[in-house]
């Protein structure tokens, strides 16, 4: 029997998340390089876009099903996936490094007596071994790590690996009903936050710092973010001052992000902040202090008064996008 590599897919409210396609692409690439059979596994009740997974080089999807699996249950998902992984002799699992993946992956690792490397930004096969690269110290440094355990679990940072099309026809979807799932720990409800987009998932982020001078001025940041379909981010200084909620904080005690565009407004660029955002593809800085460290990582900068610049920028973006 050929050993298996599993892409663990994530569904929310019955739809696969984007990171699932990234995980599928990574698993199918590693499967080829390591000569492993590739399968995708999803836990849920009803999942409506499972067919899409076939576009990413996956020919078989296992749906571990139960009516109690529509919401996440750490105990239930862990048991269902780890039992399946054991049953088919899986030697490698690829999981998205989301809130769910961060909870699930280490538990799967314990159940499978395996090591687990989190938040990988690169997975490369060298002499038959998977070498994972991941940020440490919130991105101030990177480490290359390998696992010595028989089974290996890796989580991938969202938005970093490309979901590559490799059409191989329709995937076979196999439903497996899970009887009496373990529901010791269960999500009973979800409280949606006010912000439209989460910084951890956004493709564009507009962030404000102390240069905004007060919470009442963040409407300038919100308008610019709206015009770009971007998430609102914040520096630690303004979160600690209570101007913005912690979920928006970017940096070492907040979120580490890698969007394609990061617009820093009135942010000087403390080392903890730079660590959390300097892997963004493009960085724009608007700050009146020409010596602010943020300019040392910015691709484009305007040294000036953001209260004058931001409204003009928002109007200009609206114009070209309409």
Partner 1 sequence: MKIAVCVSHVPDTATRIKIGSDRKAIDPTGVTYIINPYDEYAIEEALKTKEKIGGDSIVYVISVGSDANKESIRKALAMGVDEGILLKDDSQRDSFGIAHALSDEIKSLGCEIAFFGKQSVDFDNSIVGQITAELLGYNCVPVVVDFKLDGSKIIAEREIEGGREVVETELPAIITAQKGLNEPRYASLKGIMASKKKTIAEKVAAKSPNYSEIVDMNLPASKQAGRILGTDSSAVAELVKLLREEAKVI
Say if CB 267 and CB 208 are below 8 A apart: yes
301 is a site residue for partner 1 (CB under 8 A): yes
258 is a site residue for partner 1 (CB under 8 A): no
Tell me the window of 45-53, 62-70, 168-176, 280-288 that interacts with partner 1 (CB under 8 A).
280-288
Return the closest-CA partner of residue 39 out of 96, 75, 84: 84
Interface residue with partner 1, options 102, 122, 166, 217 (CB under 8 A): 102
The three-state secondary structure class of 210 is helix
Which residues lie closer than 8 Å to 214 by C-beta, 6 or more apart?
243
Say if CB 114 and CB 17 are below 8 A apart: no
Which residues lie closer than 8 Å to 29 by C-beta, 6 or more apart?
57, 164
From CA 50, how far away is CA 173, in angstroms rounded?
A: 8
Which residues 190-209 are close enough to bind partner 1 by CB under 8 A?
190-193, 195, 197-198, 200-201, 204
114 is a site residue for partner 1 (CB under 8 A): yes
Tell me the window of 33-41, 51-59, 168-176, 239-247 that interacts with partner 1 (CB under 8 A).
239-247
187 is a site residue for partner 1 (CB under 8 A): yes
CB of 57 to partner 1, least distance (A): 26
119 is a site residue for partner 1 (CB under 8 A): yes
Interface residue with partner 1, options 42, 95, 138, 232 (CB under 8 A): 138
Residue with token string 């849920």 = 44
Nearer to partner 1, 58 or 263 (CB): 263
> If you ran DSSP here, which 8-state letter would residue 11 be given?
E
Biggest CA-to-CA distance, the chain? 66
111 is a site residue for partner 1 (CB under 8 A): yes
Tell me the window of 45-53, 87-95, 217-225, 264-272 that interacts with partner 1 (CB under 8 A).
264-272
């Amino acid at each position: 029997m050929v050993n298996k590599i599993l892409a663990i897919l994530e569904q929310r409210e019955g739809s696969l998340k984007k990171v699932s396609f990234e995980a599928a692409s990574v698993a199918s690439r590693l499967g080829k390089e390591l000569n492993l059979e590739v399968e995708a596994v999803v836990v849920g009740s009803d999942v409506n876009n499972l067919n899409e997974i076939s576009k990413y080089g996956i020919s078989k999807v296992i749906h571990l099903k139960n009516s109690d699996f529509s919401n996440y249950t750490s105990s239930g998902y862990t048991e269902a996936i780890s039992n399946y992984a054991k049953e088919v002799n899986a030697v490698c699992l690829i999981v998205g490094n989301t809130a769910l993946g961060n909870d699930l992956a280490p538990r799967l690792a314990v159940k499978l007596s395996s090591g687990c490397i989190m938040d990988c930004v690169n997975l490369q096969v060298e002499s038959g071994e998977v070498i994972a690269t991941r940020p440490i110290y919130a991105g101030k440094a990177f480490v290359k790590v390998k696992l010595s355990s028989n089974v290996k679990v890796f989580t991938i940072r969202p938005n970093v690996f490309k979901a590559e099309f490799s059409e191989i026809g329709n995937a076979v979807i196999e439903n497996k009903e899970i009887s009496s799932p373990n529901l010791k720990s269960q999500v009973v409800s979800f409280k949606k936050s006010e912000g439209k987009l989460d910084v951890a998932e956004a493709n564009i982020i507009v962030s404000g710092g102390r240069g905004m001078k007060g919470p009442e001025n963040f409407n300038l940041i919100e308008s610019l973010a709206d015009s770009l379909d971007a998430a609102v981010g914040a520096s630690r200084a303004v979160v600690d001052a209570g101007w913005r909620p912690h979920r928006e904080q970017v940096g070492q005690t907040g979120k580490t992000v890698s969007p394609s565009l990061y617009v820093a407004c009135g942010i000087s660029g403390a080392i903890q902040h730079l660590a959390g955002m300097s892997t963004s593809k493009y960085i724009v800085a608007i700050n009146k202090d020409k010596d602010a460290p943020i300019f040392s990582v910015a691709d484009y900068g305007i040294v000036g008064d953001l209260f004058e610049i931001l409204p003009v920028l928002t109007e200009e973006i609206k114009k070209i996008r309409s």
